[in-house]
Amino acid sequence: MSVFISALGGAAAQFFDSSGNPLTGGLLYSYAAGTTTPQATYTSSAGSTAHTNPIVLDAAGRVASGEIWVTAGLNYKFVLRDSAGALIGTYDNLSGLNGVDDASQITYDPPFTGAVSTTVEAKLEQTLSVLDFGADPTGSTDSTTAIQNAIDYAQSKNGGIILFPWGTYKISSQINITKSNVMLQGYGANGIHDGGTGASPATTIVWYGGVYAGSMFSFYTVQSASNAKINGVGLSNMYLDCSGTCSGGINIISINNGRFDHINILHPTYAGVVITNYLAGQLAEPADSQLNIFSNITVRCLDLPACINGNGFILASNAPGTAGGNTSFNTFLYCQGQFVNGTAFLLTDADNNNLISCRAFISGTGKGIDVQGYGDSNYFYNFSCSGFPSKIFIRGIASGFAVDSTNNCFLFPDQGNGTTYPQLDAGCKVYWTGSDGTTVKSRNTQAVITDSTSNINAAQLNLGLASLIIDNRSAAGFRVTDGTNIWGINQTGLNGDLRWSCSNGSSKVDFNNNVFDNAFSYFPNAPTTASAANTFLDNADNNRLFRVTSSAKYKTNIETLEHQYSDALLQARPVWYRSKCEADKKEWSWYGLIAEELAQIDPRLVHWSYADDCYNIVETVEKDGSTIKTKVLKDDAQLTPESVQYERISVLLLDLVQRQQKQIDDLELRLSGLGAHPL
């Protein structure tokens, strides 16, 4: 039998009465804790000789043998009385002092209202640390087995938070998490810095197991047709160093509701984080990896030659395009990475994932985002990756994938830091809303804009081959403005005619097609009317369309035409010619006048314009990478005759005819006076 020294009067103790006098002849009774059942005490550590019960104190108030020993593992109640039997004090629930190293024998009383007492052992079991299983935080020895044992213990309890206290832990083989609710928590990952000192992680996991094709940590559901997916696992506040020999930091297969945050992954040879899933039928439920959250994760594949082709985050499936699941409905917050030739975010079989304020830094031929084939309907908010041509790729059949990637959406990308419109394969679709909130682009796709949910379905059914339908049935269906001038295109409410109007400002419609080869403007169905005024295109003003007016209200300084101007018209040379104009038949011949010759007679009889060589063509690159060509008139440009204003010649001809008629009338009058027959 083991005995421990008693907590009360254990060795050479002296007892006193309430007046401070030695308790001569005092009586010390011993019972089982909380009862009146006598429980033996002993005179020495041998535990062979029991004290009398009660123990009678000597004249000095001491135990005659000098010591009191109690049975190990038992709790006692002691009652102290004076020699007359009067109560001095009661001391309950005491154990041997040698037993304090056994936490199960020490009571813990929580300092909370309504709290319940427990043992120190039970309290300590509420926190699980890899140090409890022998992990070495100095990094001197391998901690793989200790870490896996801690995880296995938590899994036997249906989950738990496993702490990785301050330090560096070496592992040489993959750590596996295969049950729900297991969270691995370090004390801080700090960050991956490009320079400076004084910033170090609190918890570091270092791979030193040599070249390995797997990951440092693998979270997966054990494959079985009877197994449900595991939920609620995760890893946080750790720095994972793959050492340029381990393929990846974290691998995920068919899990839901995981949480991975504040992690730095250094030197993976393949990818920092890989998310995938099993085929259909390999689990008892759909195998998609879904509803996982990844936040504040940084991957760096920059410093070691073995890592320059490494990737950041891969969202995939074990068999893209099959009846199996895929990676979907996951969220990535503030995730980033530095890469040379790898891809920051690679989506091969993934849909409805959200990437919020993520970014990538590419120093070689790598990609910021690469959405391939079955990557569909993913959302990228405020994504940043500078580069022109764009470091964002949306790829499909043209790049060898089974299908075209469609319906991926970019909202407010970081264009201020050089993020540019994606490079799209033919047939791929993407929606892009610029960071200024006003530029909306959609390539290779169709869209409906409407202000009524009741109109959406009908409008979609009527899309046909149209690229865009605007169905808001308002007075400003489509508006263009520079802040001052406002142009609107809409249908009138009266009869549905298309109306194009300037509601504010004094700007004009500009059909400027001279910059582009073989570009023409047509009005194929313009009707005619006897009451309409003439119109013409002013060649000197970029073919600006004018209506010719004849009313006196548009004229000033009106005078009768001087005959010298109409007489000068007779100097004009009528010609026969063949036309070099593209719209004219080359085998036909024509009659007319030469504008340059007529301009020498009267410059008002021709239209003047600037020749093509009077302009400089200026190219500007828009934020989306497209090129805009603009004609800019040269400073020394001179107007030259362009065409004859034949309608003005009729005025001069009328003056000539009127004067000739008067001459005829005068001659007839003179002839009649001579008695000649009238003409």
Label each residue of 554-593 as H, E or C.
HCCCCCCCCHHHHHHHCCCCCEEECCCCCCCCCCCCEEEC
Same-domain pairing of 284 and 168: yes
Average pLDDT, the chain: 86
Using an 8 Å Cβ cutoff, are 419 and 389 in contact?
no
Q: How many residues does the chain have?
A: 679
In a domain, 81, yes or no: yes
- CA 379, 381, 385, 390 torsion: positive or negative? positive
Same-domain pairing of 206 and 324: yes
Helix/strand number for the chain, H first, E second? 6, 52
Q: What is the pLDDT of residues 230-285, one digit of tens each?
A: 999 999 999 999 999 999 999 999 999 999 999 999 999 999 999 999 988 899 99
In a domain, 676, yes or no: no
Same-domain pairing of 102 and 175: no
d(CA 159, CA 180): 6
What are the b/e assignments for 393-421, b being 16+ CB within 10 Å?
A: bbbbeebebebbbbbbbbbbbebeeebbb
Same-domain pairing of 148 and 135: yes
Identify whether 201 is preceded by a cis peptide bond (ω within 30 of 0).
Answer: no
The answer on pLDDT for 189 being more than 50 is yes
Same-domain pairing of 117 and 155: no
Same-domain pairing of 169 and 243: yes
Q: What is the pLDDT of residues 31-74, one digit of tens each?
A: 999 999 999 999 999 999 999 999 999 999 999 999 999 998 89
In a domain, 509, yes or no: no
Q: What is the pLDDT of residues 512-556, one digit of tens each?
A: 444 333 444 445 445 544 444 466 666 666 566 666 678 888 889
pLDDT-derived band at 177, boundaries 50, 70, 90: very high
Tell me the mean pLDDT in the region 312-330: 82
Copy the structure tokens of residue 219.
């979270």
Using an 8 Å Cβ cutoff, are 178 and 220 in contact?
yes
In a domain, 161, yes or no: yes
Same-domain pairing of 173 and 296: yes
Q: Can you give the pLDDT at residue 324?
A: 64
Q: What are the CA-CA distances from residue 336 to residues 69, 216, 332 (Å)? A: 65, 20, 10
In a domain, 112, yes or no: yes
Tell me the mean pLDDT in the region 281-309: 94
What's the CATH number where 109 sits?
2.170.14.10
Q: Can you give the pLDDT at residue 512?
A: 46
In a domain, 673, yes or no: no
Using an 8 Å Cβ cutoff, are 408 and 376 in contact?
yes
Count of domains observed in the chain: 6
Q: Taking the CB of residue 541, how many other CB atoms lie within 10 A of it?
A: 14
Same-domain pairing of 379 and 357: no
d(CA 343, CA 335): 13
In a domain, 29, yes or no: yes
Same-domain pairing of 64 and 191: no
Q: In which domain, by residue range, is 496 found?
A: 476-504
What's the CATH number where 151 sits?
2.160.20.10
**Residue that is last in its domain, among 390, 421, 441:** 441
The answer on pLDDT for 472 being more than 70 is no
pLDDT-derived band at 486, boundaries 50, 70, 90: confident
Same-domain pairing of 552 and 574: yes
Those residues with Cβ within 8 angstroms of residue 650's Cβ, 6 or more apart along the chain or in another chain: none
pTM of the model: 0.61
Same-domain pairing of 405 and 318: no
Q: What is the pLDDT of residues 112-155, one digit of tens each?
A: 999 998 888 888 888 999 999 999 999 999 999 999 999 999 99
In a domain, 425, yes or no: yes
pLDDT-derived band at 496, boundaries 50, 70, 90: low
What are the b/e assignments for 40-78, b being 16+ CB within 10 Å?
A: bbbbeeebeeebeebbebeeebbbeeebbbbbbebbbbb
d(CA 271, CA 73): 55
d(CA 435, CA 380): 12
What are the b/e assignments for 110-136, b being 16+ CB within 10 Å?
A: eeeeeeeeeeeeeeeeeebbbbbbebb
